[in-house]
């Protein structure tokens, strides 16, 4: 007996999704207007005003006009705050300032290199550098021993320094959508790393074997690069739960992929695979498998009949438009932009798929025509 095949048009789904969002926002807007005009809303505003005035010691004469509550009077603005409230606000501001002093933010195309003053702030715990023209990360990054988060997405970085291996407390490394062609083996010394995002660099073909040491990694995204196979080091990341290796040049999967027995999400769309190995059935926690391509002609029946709640999604690749352009850099930039849009939409779709309780676990195949 054949398996159930559900066919969708991706562009149609996106259109329905956008229409649903617009309708929801319109309903919320109308409901808000209705509440603002209702008597209940006016009573609520009056009671809130009375409570606030009582808390701040404002006498009735200040908010009553001819015996009625006047919510148009800005009594709260003209009356000073009590010392207790001032103290509360001061404490809140103090906590925010204390937290923010450990976080470094930098963005804007006017930046071509990191500011010199940064090297004196080795107490920082987070770097967030994005949308700049910065090409290199200086070696003095080794001094930032307390660094936990290193977010460097959407810059022009073409290599990572070997000194990055000195960041023993680093938990998150995001160097997506840059110009990396390789990753230093010293990254394997960041033994506490939990999330690694190298997507959208377009040129990475391999990962150093030393990354096998990253036993705490739960999230790896190497999509939109030039991998021909899943790196050996990835197969040795025993705690891996999310692997996105879509938009590469994979022709097959290793037969021992079931070594990743903690893996929950495996994204393989937009590759060149012709079959899926039966070893996928032996992965007890795999709950979402996404593939694509007309070349995929062999799928183990056991995957479609899985009783573990596996959602198997097959996307139909849209025809790639031929771009006539002499500037190779412009073509690469267009590819990056398309990959960014597709990635954001795919993550939104996956999130929606997981939240929909009504989605049957036995759905075996969903085909989309992706046209962005």
Q: Could you read off the pLDDT of 36-69 as tens digits, one per residue?
A: 666 666 666 776 777 777 666 677 666 666 556 6
Nearest to 250 by CA among 270, 221, 222: 270
What local confidence, expressed as pLDDT, does residue 335 receive?
84
Sign of the torsion angle spanned by Cα atoms 145, 176, 178, 191: positive
What local confidence, expressed as pLDDT, does residue 286 receive?
94
What local confidence, expressed as pLDDT, does residue 353 receive?
73
- 103-315 — its CATH code? 3.80.10.10
Spell out the domain ranges in the chain: 10-69, 103-315
Instruction: Give the residue carrying structure tokens 């990341």.
Output: 237
CB 273 within 8 A of CB 247: no
Residues of the chain short of pLDDT 50, as ranges, are 1-8, 80-86, 88, 320-325, 358-372
What local confidence, expressed as pLDDT, does residue 168 receive?
96
What local confidence, expressed as pLDDT, does residue 364 receive?
39
Sign of the torsion angle spanned by Cα atoms 73, 74, 76, 80: negative
Strands 195-197 and 219-221: parallel
What local confidence, expressed as pLDDT, does residue 333 receive?
74
What local confidence, expressed as pLDDT, does residue 257 receive?
96
**Overall pTM surpassing 0.75 (yes/no):** no
- Determine the 3-state secondary structure of 163 from DSSP: helix
H-assigned helices in the chain: 10-37, 39-55, 60-63, 75-78, 83-100, 232-235, 301-304, 328-355
């Amino acid at each position: 007996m054949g398996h159930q095949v559900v066919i969708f048009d991706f562009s149609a789904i996106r259109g329905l999704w956008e229409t649903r969002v617009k309708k929801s926002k319109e309903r919320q807007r109308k409901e808000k207007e209705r509440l603002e005009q209702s008597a209940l809303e006016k009573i609520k505003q009056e009671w809130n005003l009375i409570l606030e005035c009582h808390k701040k010691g404002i006498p009735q004469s200040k908010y009553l006009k001819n015996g009625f509550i006047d919510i148009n009077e800005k009594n709260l603005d003209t009356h000073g705050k009590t010392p207790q409230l001032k103290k509360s606000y001061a404490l809140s501001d103090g906590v925010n300032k204390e937290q923010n002093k450990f976080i470094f933010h930098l963005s804007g195309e006017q930046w071509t290199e990191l500011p010199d003053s940064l090297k004196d702030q080795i107490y920082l715990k987070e770097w967030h550098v994005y949308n700049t023209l910065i090409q290199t990360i200086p070696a003095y990054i080794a001094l930032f021993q307390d660094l936990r988060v290193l977010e460097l997405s959407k810059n022009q970085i073409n290599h990572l320094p070997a000194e990055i291996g000195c960041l023993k407390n680093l938990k998150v490394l995001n160097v997506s959508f840059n110009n990396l062609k390789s990753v230093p083996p010293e990254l394997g010394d960041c033994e506490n790393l939990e999330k690694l995002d190298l997507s959208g660099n377009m040129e990475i073909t391999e990962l150093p074997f030393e990354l096998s040491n990253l036993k705490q990694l739960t999230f790896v995204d190497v999509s939109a690069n030039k991998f021909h196979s899943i790196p050996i080091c990835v197969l040795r990341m025993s705690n891996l739960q999310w692997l996105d290796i879509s938009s590469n040049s994979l022709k097959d999967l290793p037969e021992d992929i079931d070594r990743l027995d903690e893996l929950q999400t495996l994204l393989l769309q937009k590759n060149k695979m012709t079959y899926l190995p039966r070893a996928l059935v032996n992965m007890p926690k795999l709950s979402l498998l996404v593939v694509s391509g007309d070349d995929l002609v062999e799928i183990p029946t056991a995957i479609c009949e899985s009783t573990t709640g596996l959602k198997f999604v097959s996307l139909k690749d849209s025809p790639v438009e031929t771009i006539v352009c002499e500037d190779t850099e412009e073509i690469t930039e267009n590819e990056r932009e398309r990959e960014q849009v597709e990635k954001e939409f795919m993550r939104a779709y996956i999130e929606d798929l997981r939240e929909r309780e009504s989605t049957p676990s036995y759905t075996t195949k969903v085909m989309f025509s992706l046209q962005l």
